[in-house]
Amino acid sequence: MNEAMRNAIEAMKKALSESDELKAYNAAKEAYDKDEDLAKLINEYNVQATLLETEGQKPEAERDTAVIESLSARLRELYDTISENKSLAMMREAESDLSAIVGEINRAVQLAIDPESANCTHDCSTCGGCH
């Protein structure tokens, strides 16, 4: 890698670190990481899912349908509660916004490597064939 490329990467890293999207992502990640209620819910969800999986792996004659129904109901409740969590929603939105920027960066690099890739839709039904 030459010096011009290193400088360009450093400039891009600086611009990215100053972008609203990365700032929003970092703030959302901090809120997500500090959300103890959400962490407890996710932990409980994982435990309940493991219990359900364990019960489901038993031979059919040994499965307790009442336990399976109870675990399934609790998992649905937890899923709904987790899905409505504000920290998680902010994190998902921030990840999506940041992912869009990363996608643009990747496309720009791909175009620099292969300018003809701009014509590729990656949907072979729209194409006359690869060159």
Judge whether 68 and 34 are in contact, CB under 8 Å.
Answer: no
Q: Could you tell me if 95 and 25 are in contact, meaning their C-beta atoms sit under 8 angstroms apart?
A: yes
- With a pLDDT cut of 70, the percent of the chain lying above it is 90
First to last CA, the chain: 28
Task: Give the DSSP letter of residue 130.
Answer: -
Span 41-75, pLDDT tens digits: 999 999 999 999 999 999 999 999 999 999 999 99
Query: Nearest-CA neighbor of 55 among 73, 68, 66?
Result: 68
